[in-house]
Amino acid sequence: MFAPTTPKLWCLAALLLALPLAATADIYKYTDKYGRVFLTDRPSHSGYKRLVKTWKGWSPSGTKSINYRLLSENRKRFSRTIELAARSLKVPSALLHAVITAESAYDPDAVSRAGAVGLMQLMPATAQRYGVSDRTDPNANVTGGTRYLKDLMGMFNNDLSLAIAAYNAGENAVISYGRKIPPYEETQAYVRRVLQYYKDYKLMKVL
């Protein structure tokens, strides 16, 4: 969630969400030690990073672009980390692979325009909730994200669709819509995508 400190920055953040991503002005992002995200077109210190458009939204300039031809290689790179979290927390590894594929395409440095970070795209509040101090650390990120997903499964009586929807939109959104998938186009598409990935990964002999 954006947390600008001035009306000007608040307006800028709103415009970023409302206007096409082809805006010509450079936008800079800074995340403070509390996980709050600030956006501006006039950075006041070197901590601000210029944003560029990526498949997941806006990410810091210099972040490696996703190469889908190397998706298999990226998946294998973190397969042990994912398998350890899956075994430890008793969550299907294929489900974790499905969520990570949809969230970050296995890019540990992925940053969404909402400020979610890492393989499982943890927001600051979620990371704090599960004791993840460094969201870019693959082991900590996957463990925290897996714990969150497991808790969502328990919260929604092992209804996989609802747990996945809650991972995307938040558990309160699912609850507020009568424990149904919220009528958000993004969330509904996300649920379909993760379920398809999950089905595909379950059929694979080697992850």
pLDDT by position in tens, the chain (length 207): 333 444 443 333 433 343 333 333 556 677 776 667 676 767 787 777 765 444 344 444 444 444 556 677 778 889 999 999 999 999 999 999 999 999 998 988 888 888 899 999 999 999 999 999 999 999 999 999 999 999 999 999 999 999 999 999 999 999 999 999 999 999 999 999 999 999 999 987 545
Q: Which amino acid is at 103?
A: E
Q: How many CA atoms lie within 13 A of 129 on its CB side?
A: 12
| Domain-ending residue, one of 60, 81, 99 | 60
Name the token pair of 41: 């077109």
Task: State residue 75's pLDDT score.
Answer: 85
User: How many Cβ atoms from other residues are within 10 Å of residue 200's Cβ?
Assistant: 13
User: Are residues 114 and 193 located together in one domain of the fold?
Assistant: yes
User: Are residues 164 and 92 located together in one domain of the fold?
Assistant: yes
Q: Annotated active-site positions, please?
A: 103
Q: For residues 146, 150, 152 and 157, what is the CA-based torsion angle, rounded to 10 degrees?
A: 160
Q: Which domain holds residue 165?
A: 68-203
Residue 1 inside a domain? The answer is: no
> Burial, 191: exposed, middle or buried (Cβ in 10 Å; 0-12, 13-18, 19+)?
buried
Helices and strands in the chain, H and E counts:
9, 4
Task: State residue 13's pLDDT score.
Answer: 40
**CA separation, residue 36 to residues 5, 64, 119, 147 (Å):** 10, 23, 19, 23
Task: State residue 70's pLDDT score.
Answer: 62
Task: State residue 114's pLDDT score.
Answer: 84
Task: State residue 74's pLDDT score.
Answer: 79
Are 39 and 10 spatial neighbours (Cβ–Cβ below 8 Å)? no
User: Are residues 75 and 168 located together in one domain of the fold?
Assistant: yes
Distance, CA of 21 to CA of 67 (rounded, Å): 21
Check: pTM over 0.85? Answer yes or no.
no
User: Are residues 72 and 47 located together in one domain of the fold?
Assistant: no
Residue 2 inside a domain? The answer is: no
